[in-house]
Amino acid sequence: MTAPPLGDLLAGLRVVSIPMRVRFRGVTHREVALIEGPAGWGEFGPFLEYPPAEAARWLASAIESAYAARPAPLRASVPVNATIPAVPPDAVAAVLHRFPGCTTAKVKVAEAGQMLADDLGRVAAVRDAMGPSARIRVDANGGWSLTEATDAVGRLAAYDLEYVEQPCASVEELADLRKALARNRIDVPIAADESIRKAEDPLRVRDLEAADLVVIKVAPLGGVANALRIVAECGLPAVVSSALDTSVGISAGVALAAALPVLDHACGLGTVGLFDGDVTTAPLVPVGGLLPQRRVTPDPGLLTHWAAPPHRVAWWRERVEQAHGLFPTSP
């Protein structure tokens, strides 16, 4: 992808810092940079520890959103799942309350400092709250070894899991786990997330038969167009998910989900409810378990209200400059 001149990106750059209602993946305040272009707004929000080479893909996605047309949608809205952070069982009901109408829940497991017993209690609480017909998926973010994953998935299978997302860190471990579950007659599909979005070659998941489906996130894959290409080349069912985006970033995820030829799973795009605010007065939050397909324009007052302090704005401007230098610019 070619990029517009750096000065154009920096001229209208706005950086916000929005508190989380619940600590999520270690994040208590979510910082992102927003850019405006001829097609609308784009969101640049690689997590703070990501190096420039990885952040460059997120900038490519933001540029695509701000400067390019989106693919024609095949559906006007997409179903979304509730997202349950690594909270105690007695906090599950309050989190679910933020996702009205959702009949699928994704539950975080393998949290640092917690035990498998914590995961079992949390998943049990979700099943109790949502009932037997709900779909429940768990996400380990690669936090288990192969041995730990085999044991954990075997025990969590009692709660009728839709799938387990990234149980182990490497593609090879996912492939081995998939074989081990089949040998043990544990019928829990495996979904690849980090093995797609953080991999130099995301197609190794397909080549090693390491997953039953793929989790696709727009920003880490460089934009909607590239994400659509990867889904097509993987040839596996896809679930579109977010990366703790504001409604600007969520709108790109919904655009991807709306353009997929097949969408059989609820998408992890309902996460705006985990924030204690947003950049728009019309946030993309689920209504009846669905999100509409539309672009989002930030509200100037909210951009000011959530504005990051000047030293953080300077840090993000430098980050945009570093990422911008890693792919070609237009003449």
Q: Which residues contact 201 (CB under 8 A, 6 or more apart)?
A: none
Is the separation of the CB atoms in 45 and 206 below 8 Å? Answer: no
Residues acting as catalytic residues: 108, 217
Whether residue 139 is annotated as binding a ligand: the answer is yes
With 0-12 / 13-18 / 19 or more C-beta atoms within 10 angstroms meaning exposed / middle / buried, residue 131 is: exposed
Sign, Cα dihedral of 162, 165, 171, 177: negative
Q: State how far the Cα of 116 lies from the Cα of 178, in Å rounded to an integer.
A: 20
Whether residue 118 is annotated as binding a ligand: the answer is no
Q: State how far the Cα of 186 lies from the Cα of 152, in Å rounded to an integer.
A: 11
Is the separation of the CB atoms in 163 and 190 below 8 Å? Answer: yes
Whether residue 90 is annotated as binding a ligand: the answer is no
> What phi and psi, each to the nearest 5 degrees, are found at residue 296?
-125, 130
> How distant is the alpha carbon of residue 38 from its chain centre?
26
Q: Which residues are known binding-site members? A: 139, 165, 193
Q: Which residues are known binding-site members for Mg(2+)? A: 139, 165, 193
